[in-house]
Amino acid sequence: MPLWKQIFIALTLGVVLGVALNQSGYGEYAASIKPIGDLFLNGIRMLIVPLIFVSLVSGVTSLRDMSTMGRLSIKTLSLYLGTTAVAIMIGLALAMIFKPGVGIDLGAAQAVTVAESPSLIATLVALVPANPVAAFAQGNVLQIIVFAILFGLAITLGGEAAKPVKKFMDSLAEVFYKFTGIIIAFAPYGVFALVTWVAGTYGLELLAPLAKVIGVVYLGCLIHAAVVYAGLIKFVAGLSPVRYVQGVIEPAIVAFSSTSSAGTLPVTMMSAERNLGVSRGVSSFVLPLGTTINMDGTALYQGVCALFIAQAYGIDLSLAQYATIVLTATLASIGTAGVPGAGLIMLSLVLTSVGLPLEGVAIIAGIDRILDMARTSLNVVGDCAVAVVVAKSEGQLDQTLYDTAHVLKSTDIPNQLQSSQV
């Protein structure tokens, strides 16, 4: 059975078991299965830093010339920013139509403190790691990207003398892809444990009052994927959206259950290359960058939540305030780390920018995990869509692989592991 089917079945079983435990009053037992999920997540996190570095160095040295890098960056950043702005507008529009905040009782709201946003200059200066070892130790993705690109360029400039390093990095990249395959083989178990835990812990009584806001965020994510991403894939890249869905299903489900796009990165890179035919040069640059700065799901969620809070407090927003929300939510989503719950912290920035009461954040906090699942999936699916479009436009997409391989192939998972699973 292909891996994505196993993961999908694990997801379904997890929901069924979790809800059953919760409804029969044994919800607290769902938490006892969570360590299995954490084990899987640790396994993925273990790979993030070495995988980004090694595959990006190998990717940069495989690019034909240095101007390719500049073109890639411009295309990628424009697509990332453009899709994010559209996502917020979809969120705002749906919140206007469905009015999830009308009639909500904010009695239980408590005060919250505003997140500090770092200045633009400080952010730019911090892109270059003064101490690369510290960047690796802290898992600072942007700094690792900068270091890896410069390292890769130096290898290319080194010519003949640097060839052995290039060969070594290419070989190491292969090793890490196999390594990723080993961890991904455990995805069904990890997903099952995490989903059982969430479904078992969140009771219907907690979700019911906010069902509308949950529904609007999920609907928004579906619409954004079906209209914006499918549209980009079909009309800009000229590829089949159905194949695209099949190709991204694994990272989408891992993101859904882990609520961390950074934590899903190894799965995302593997799927983009092996399922969607994106070259390593493109995937190793576009995807790590995407997990750090491209958060369409987070932006959409912030749009919905800002309006939800305004409606709950009976505050009418002006056109200028809507424009401010689009701008700040785009910037806030860039600054959001791809870790669980980060979007909630950044929501306070968006609210402050238009003078909305911060107490609303406390209401959202109670159900944030459920919202995080949807927005993280959209974040990851969006990164893949941009990777495919950029790769196609650069002639860096293996069309045969895109059209035929829509599941991780058995060769990606070591044989011993497969047989031990049977």
Q: Does 296 bind ligand ASP (CB under 6 A)?
A: no
Q: Which of 341, 357, 366, 414 binds ligand ASP (CB under 6 A)?
A: 341
Least Cα distance to 278 among 152, 138, 135, 396 occurs for 396
Which residues lie below 8 Å from residue 56, measured CB to CB, with a gap of 6+? 144, 145, 148, 149, 152, 284, 285, 288
- Could you give the CA distance from residue 371 to residue 100 in angstroms, rounded to a whole number? 14
**Helices and strands (H and E) in the chain: how many:** 20, 0
**Cβ–Cβ < 8 Å for 67, 227:** no
Nearer to ligand ASP, 3 or 332 (CB): 332
**Cβ–Cβ < 8 Å for 371, 212:** no
Least Cα distance to 203 among 369, 33, 347 occurs for 369
Question: b/e string for 152-189 if b means 16 or more Cβ within 10 A?
Answer: bbebeeeeeeeeeebeebbebbeebbebbbebbbbbbb
Q: What are the phi and psi torsion angles at 222 (to 5°)?
A: -65, -45
Least Cα distance to 280 among 134, 63, 66 occurs for 63
**Cβ–Cβ < 8 Å for 11, 253:** yes
- Choices 151-159, 174-182, 212-220, 259-267 (CB under 6 A): range interacting with ligand ASP: 259-267
Nearer to ligand ASP, 27 or 340 (CB): 340
Q: Work out how close the CB of 292 gets to ligand ASP at its nearest, in angstroms, rounded to a whole number.
A: 10
Tell me which residue has its CB nearest to ligand ASP.
Answer: 343
Contact code string over 309-338 relative to ligand ASP, x by CB under 6 A: ---------------------------x-x
Is residue 397 classed as helix, strand or coil in its secondary structure?
strand
Q: Does 379 bind ligand ASP (CB under 6 A)?
A: yes
Span 356-375, contacts to ligand ASP by CB under 6 A: 372, 375
Query: In which residue are the tokens 């969620």 written?
Result: 301
Q: Does 298 bind ligand ASP (CB under 6 A)?
A: yes
Nearer to ligand ASP, 155 or 262 (CB): 262
**Cβ–Cβ < 8 Å for 55, 151:** no
Q: Does 303 bind ligand ASP (CB under 6 A)?
A: no
Q: What length is written for the chain?
A: 422
Q: Does 220 bind ligand ASP (CB under 6 A)?
A: no
- Could you give the CA distance from residue 274 to residue 184 in angstroms, rounded to a whole number? 13
Q: Which of 49, 154, 236, 339 binds ligand ASP (CB under 6 A)?
A: 339
Q: Work out how close the CB of 376 gets to ligand ASP at its nearest, in angstroms, rounded to a whole number.
A: 4
Nearer to ligand ASP, 87 or 232 (CB): 87
- Choices 149-157, 206-214, 308-316, 341-349 (CB under 6 A): range interacting with ligand ASP: 341-349
Q: Which two tokens stand for residue 114?
A: 């505003």
Q: Work out how close the CB of 294 gets to ligand ASP at its nearest, in angstroms, rounded to a whole number.
A: 9
Q: Does 348 bind ligand ASP (CB under 6 A)?
A: no
- Choices 38-46, 131-139, 160-168, 258-266 (CB under 6 A): range interacting with ligand ASP: 258-266
Q: Does 259 bind ligand ASP (CB under 6 A)?
A: yes
Q: Does 342 bind ligand ASP (CB under 6 A)?
A: yes
Q: Does 295 bind ligand ASP (CB under 6 A)?
A: yes
* Site residues for ligand ASP per CB under 6 A: 259-261, 295, 298, 336, 338-343, 372, 375-376, 379
